[in-house]
Amino acid sequence: MRISKDAIPLSTRQRLRRLFHPAFLGSLRRTTPLSRAWGFDRGTPIDRYYIERFLAEQRRDIRGRVLEVKDTSYTDRFGTDVTERDVLDIDSGNPHATIVADLAAADHVPSDQFDCFILTQTLHLIYDTRAAIGHAYRLLRPGGTLLVTVPTVSRAAAKASRDYWRFTTPSCAMLFAEVFRREDISIAAYGNVLVSIAFLEGMALEELNAHELEANDEEFPLIVTVRAVKSAGGTSGRDRLWR
Ligand SMILES: C[S@@+](CC[C@H](N)C(=O)[O-])C[C@H]1O[C@@H](n2cnc3c(N)ncnc32)[C@H](O)[C@@H]1O
């Protein structure tokens, strides 16, 4: 005789599930992470796998006059036909910075200057996200491309007071469509539950295999990528919004 699953009391079903699908936490059974340095002390931080693959896929956009935050490392690695490199940073002590500005209040930086703006892992550190995206749009030349990555899952930055936000695919879609035309925006999310746990623990990229890194689960993304092009003509979402 078969027993209906509804006839089994919930707690029995839960005990059976735990019995047949045990969770072995092993060396992760601890309340402190394996690394407090994003995994740098074990190898390459896991989020860099997706950030760098995204930029490699957009090589053709990284051309002409390119702006990057903090330093020119991604412009140097992934750029093609780059004619000028600039670095934007709020930190006036950054020796690489050619433009010292708060991206959320960058009114003193002239408009329509850059063919590409590489804005990786920075927007979550800026409280006024809308203002920052507005300035990123303004700094681009018509036809220029903004390449953004933002965390969905991440530990808090050491200076926790400067780490404001985490993003999802829908929040990026809404935020960027306030400024760029919807048809000029492409958004993707990458990661899965294993990758997210490993990144929080501070495990390194080298500790996961390709199959584990490549599996995408849209309910457990680690990172969101946005490619947005400033329309060479026509009306942007920002123009529509602010007219
Ligand atoms: C975590 S790094 C990200 C950039 C780096 N290219 C990367 O991919 O890791 C964050 C950088 O953003 C800068 N930053 C933070 N808030 C900013 C703001 N409001 N305006 C401009 N730069 C800012 C920081 O000083 C730092 O150099």
Digit-coded pLDDT (tens) for 122-136: 999 999 999 999 999
For 126, 165, 195, 199, 205, the CA distances from 108, given in Å and listed in that order, are 18, 25, 40, 37, 40
Domain that holds residue 161: 58-189+224-242
Separation between Cα atoms, residue 212 and residue 226, nearest integer Å: 23
Total number of domains constituting the chain: 1
Digit-coded pLDDT (tens) for 39-84: 999 999 999 999 999 999 999 999 999 999 999 999 999 999 999 9
Of 49, 61, 36, 9, the closest CA to residue 230 belongs to 61
| Residue 37 in domain | no
Digit-coded pLDDT (tens) for 197-210: 999 999 999 999 99
With contact defined as beta carbons under 8 Å apart, do 122 and 167 qualify?
A: no
Separation between Cα atoms, residue 174 and residue 201, nearest integer Å: 31
For 22, phi then psi, to 5°, come to: -65, 145
pTM score: 0.93
Q: Give the H or E element holding residue 43.
A: none
Atom of ligand 1 nearest to the CA of 73: 6
| Residue 36 in domain | no
| Residue 207 in domain | no
| Residue 85 in domain | yes
Q: Residue 136 sits in a domain of what CATH number?
A: 3.40.50.150
Mutation test of ligand 1: which of 70, 108, 162 has the most ligand atoms closer than 8 Å to its C-beta? 70
Separation between Cα atoms, residue 166 and residue 120, nearest integer Å: 13
Of 163, 175, 96, the closest CA to residue 133 belongs to 175
Q: Is 90 in the pocket of ligand 1 (CB under 6 A)?
A: yes
